[in-house]
Amino acid sequence: MPMTPEEVRAFYDTHRTVRQYVTHEDGTSIPLPAEHLDVILHAAQRAPTDATAQLYSLVRITRPELRARIAELTTNAHIATASEAFIVCADVARVTRVLEATGHAPGEWPAIAVHFGIGDAVMAGTNLLTAAEMLGYQGCWIGGVMNGLDGIITELGLPAGTLPFAALTIGRPAENAPYRPRVPRPLVIHTDTYHVGTNDEILSAVEIMNPIASRGGQPGDWASLMNAYFGEGGSMAKREPGLRAALERQELGVVS
């Protein structure tokens, strides 16, 4: 039976970003049951894909020492304690191998590779996380792969044509993560033409989003958080050289 609109809304309202997971008493991770792992991987592989190519790969991280190393490289300790941890990659290496193995000459399209590879990777990862949430788990997308791209590429032996997009952790939540607000719909969902938003609309959105930046019971300041990431001298500007270098290393060099 189809879900009702109310049931769909309720399901998505249960979504939380969770970084603390139920572990064994010694703090080691508790793997998912085999049938649960199988179904979330099935969901990932049923994601939409460009041109039937499936331009993504998921690298499942299982060895404790590798988990610890990836946690260090991403500066996200919960990679070591989650039930499952994946590196979600854009991947055009495999389709290149398909062409070569069948006697065809691969083309030159690095910008297309990045565009569709990241799209395919995100759709597969989102399917995986949604299936996990349907089974009662929670998870976290981890952009911190940008903090250690070169090391991650080396540790995982990623060939040219692959690029880590994010890490993704899954497990039983060991924290009561808060419900996070979202930017008001008129600034996100546009009809026919893009609505830039007035200053008043933007400032109102900032007020709505401020709780997402609260820490330790202190009032949040979302604009300051965005400035720390995207403002002059922010963390995204600091990550930019590493991403450009990784694109070049992986032969996806579409920027000069």
Strand partners, 179: none
Residues in the chain: 256
Q: Which residue segments constitute the domains of the chain, with CATH numbers given?
A: 5-179 (3.40.109.10)
Alpha helices in 143-189 (DSSP H): 149-156
Inform me whether the pLDDT recorded for 1 exceeds 90.
no
Per-residue confidence (pLDDT) for residue 216, from 0 to 100: 74
pLDDT at 215 over 90: no
Tokens of 136: 């009662």
Question: What whole-number distance in Å separates Cα of residue 225 and Cα of residue 220?
Answer: 9
Residue 256's pLDDT band (boundaries 50, 70, 90)?
low
| pLDDT tens sequence across 7-29 | 999 999 999 999 999 999 999 99
Model confidence over 33-64: pLDDT tens digits? 999 999 999 999 999 999 999 999 999 999 99
Task: Kindly give the pairing relationship between strand 138-142 and strand 84-91.
Answer: unpaired
- pLDDT of 254 higher than 80: no
Biggest CA-to-CA distance, the chain: 62
Of the candidates 107, 64, 93, 221, which has an alpha carbon nearest to the alpha carbon of residue 160? Answer: 93
pTM score > 0.85 for this model?
Answer: yes
Question: Cα–Cα distance between 232 and 224 in angstroms, integer?
Answer: 12
Average pLDDT over residues 152-181: 96
Mean pLDDT over the full length of the chain: 95
Residues 6+ apart with CB under 8 A from 185: none
